[in-house]
């Protein structure tokens, strides 16, 4: 299995090279040159197997330059009982008729990013050993809240790596910020930026292709890589949990093997829903991919009109991991839909950089809408969905998951498409305690302090807060201060001294 770049398909690399580099030299994203077939017979063969066994079977199709022993070591080290509080790794909870919440937040940082970022450090160290055996890998990340902590925890004290994280100063929840600023580990650094996630992401991408910084790293025996979903080693593990969830539903008798299901995902950077699209390309029986946006409805508008425009007001919401106007992984999808025309990709994304927008032709928009449906959920609707889910089903969900639930309900009502649906539940409600507590507490005054709110939410709902979040109380802050986007490159230099 070889990989090519979305902006220059003549660049061909192995899986290990794609993972070690993170992003192609000209700014393109690595994609597999073909998708392996994973039809019903292979799906049937996965039934009754553990999550680890399913992960090895799926990833083995993509990471063909890893030996079976190397891949097995990586997977076994990532998905352990010590790191995940569920034997299933990802839980399925039925909510209403035909809706299944795929809980992807049972890992150490209580967010779906753990599903990939507990594995990526192992994949990256093996990849670096194959491609850059004498280099220290500098993992540079922009985060809208969850990727940062999951990457910090995954790479903490991993030999031969440095972990650098930038996050928007006022664009994450208090619990997300505390998770990052108290992070332990000798090889990690964290810095806030004065701006939003798009500012952080744009700054990181520029640093990745800055000739002066790259030369300095080369001189110091270092090499950049990424833990954002622009890295193939981050995206591939996300394919696994859709295949694992589908086969689990078949094992439980909730669906017949071969039955088509829909998938709904709260979407920001487009990686999570892209992984579901890739699973469908492999043969997983998925019908419509429902792309759920919050008030920042750049993706919903794109699916409706074919115009992608970041020239709009930016909103800070209760679902901060979706407060994004530049969805990086959309580039990978467009590459597939336009027949892998790298010239078109260069044209569109040059337009995005220059003018803040691009428009795809009608025939591509038609292909897009055959696969995807888009919708959005405002702040008041998010609160009401959290409240309704708890009152009707006894299920406590976070704001991101609530957005997906609301958009799925709207889609089903508007289209009459009542196929069973897997809804990605992307974070523990306790990562967004204040917003969830407001939704379920009937207007009572919130107690002062994050952890007083955690205790009140637990008392009110009869749920148990994750131990990893409770352990943050009283933990000393290691990383403070902030920089502008223009100062990020110099800050990277300081972090590496």
> Catalytic residues, which ones?
113
Nearest to 208 by CA among 164, 269, 158, 170: 164
CA distance 54 to 482: 42
Please report the sign of the dihedral spanned by the C-alpha atoms of residue 401, residue 407, residue 409, residue 412. Answer: negative
Q: Contacts by 202-208 with C-beta closer than 8 Å and gap 24+?
A: 202/326, 202/485, 203/142, 203/166, 203/485, 203/488, 203/489, 204/140, 204/141, 204/142, 204/166, 204/228, 204/488, 205/23, 205/27, 206/489, 207/140, 207/488, 207/489, 207/492, 208/22, 208/23, 208/27, 208/140
Nearest to 231 by CA among 27, 21, 4: 21
267 vs 9, 233, 481, CA distance in Å?
27, 19, 29
**Count of CA atoms in the C-beta half-sphere (13 A) of 216:** 14
Number of neighbouring beta carbons within 10 Å of residue 157: 11
Instruction: Name the strands in the sheet holding 2-5, side by side, starting at the edge strand that comes first in the sequence.
Output: 8-14, 2-5, 30-32
Q: Is 388 exposed, middle or buried (0-12, 13-18, 19+ CB in 10 A)?
A: middle
What is the separation, in whole angstroms, between the first and last Cα of the chain?
38
CA distance 212 to 218: 10
CB 148 within 8 A of CB 114: no
List strand residue ranges (DSSP E) for 252-396, in order. 261-266, 286-293, 307-309, 357-359, 372-376
CB 454 within 8 A of CB 471: no
CA distance 448 to 408: 34
CA distance 316 to 117: 25
């Amino acid at each position: 299995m070889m990989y090519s770049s979305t902006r220059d398909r003549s660049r061909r690399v192995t899986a290990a090279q794609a993972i070690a580099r993170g992003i192609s030299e000209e700014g393109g994203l690595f994609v597999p040159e073909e998708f392996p077939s994973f039809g019903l017979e292979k799906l049937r063969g996965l039934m009754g197997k553990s999550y680890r066994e399913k992960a090895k079977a799926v990833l083995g199709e993509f990471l063909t330059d890893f030996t079976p022993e190397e891949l097995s070591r990586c997977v076994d080290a990532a998905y352990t009982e010590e790191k995940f509080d569920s034997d299933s790794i990802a839980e399925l909870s039925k909510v209403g008729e035909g809706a299944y919440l795929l809980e992807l937040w049972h890992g150490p940082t209580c967010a779906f990013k753990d599903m990939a970022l507990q594995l990526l450090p192992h994949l990256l160290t093996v990849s670096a050993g194959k491609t850059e055996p004498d280099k220290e890998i500098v993992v540079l990340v922009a985060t809208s809240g969850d990727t940062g902590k999951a990457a910090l925890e995954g790479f903490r004290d991993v030999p031969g790596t440095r972990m650098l994280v930038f996050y928007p100063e006022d664009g994450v929840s208090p619990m997300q910020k505390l998770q990052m600023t108290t992070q332990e580990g000798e090889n990690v650094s964290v810095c806030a930026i004065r701006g939003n996630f798009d500012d952080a992401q744009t700054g990181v991408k520029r640093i990745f292709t800055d000739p002066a910084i790259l030369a300095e790293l080369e001189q110091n025996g270092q090499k950049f890589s990424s833990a954002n979903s622009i890295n193939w080693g981050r995206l591939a593990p996300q394919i696994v949990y859709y295949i694992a969830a589908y086969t689990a539903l078949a094992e439980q008798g909730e669906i017949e093997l071969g039955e088509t299901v829909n998938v709904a995902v709260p979407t920001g950077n487009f990686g999570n829903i892209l992984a579901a699209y890739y699973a469908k390309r492999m043969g997983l029986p998925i019908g419509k991919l429902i792309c759920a946006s919050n008030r920042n409805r750049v993706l919903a508008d794109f699916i409706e009109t074919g115009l992608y425009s970041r020239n709009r007001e930016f909103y800070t919401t209760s679902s901060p991991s979706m407060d994004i106007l530049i969805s990086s992984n959309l580039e990978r999808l467009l590459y597939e839909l336009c027949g892998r025309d790298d010239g078109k990709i260069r044209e569109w994304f040059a337009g995005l950089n220059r003018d803040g927008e691009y428009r795809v032709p009608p025939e591509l928009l038609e292909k897009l809408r055959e696969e995807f449906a888009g919708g959005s959920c405002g702040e008041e609707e998010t609160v009401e969905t959290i409240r309704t889910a708890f009152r009707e089903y006894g299920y406590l969900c976070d704001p991101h998951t609530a957005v997906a639930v609301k958009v799925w309900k709207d889609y089903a009502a508007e289209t009459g498409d009542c196929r069973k649906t897997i809804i990605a539940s992307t974070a523990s409600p306790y990562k967004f305690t204040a917003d969830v507590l407001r939704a379920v507490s009937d207007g009572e005054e919130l107690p002062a302090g994050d952890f007083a709110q955690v205790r009140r939410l637990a008392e009110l709902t009869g749920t148990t807060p994750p131990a990893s979040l409770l352990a943050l109380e009283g933990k000393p802050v290691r990383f403070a201060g902030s920089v502008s986007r223009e100062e990020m490159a110099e800050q990277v230099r300081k972090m590496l001294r």
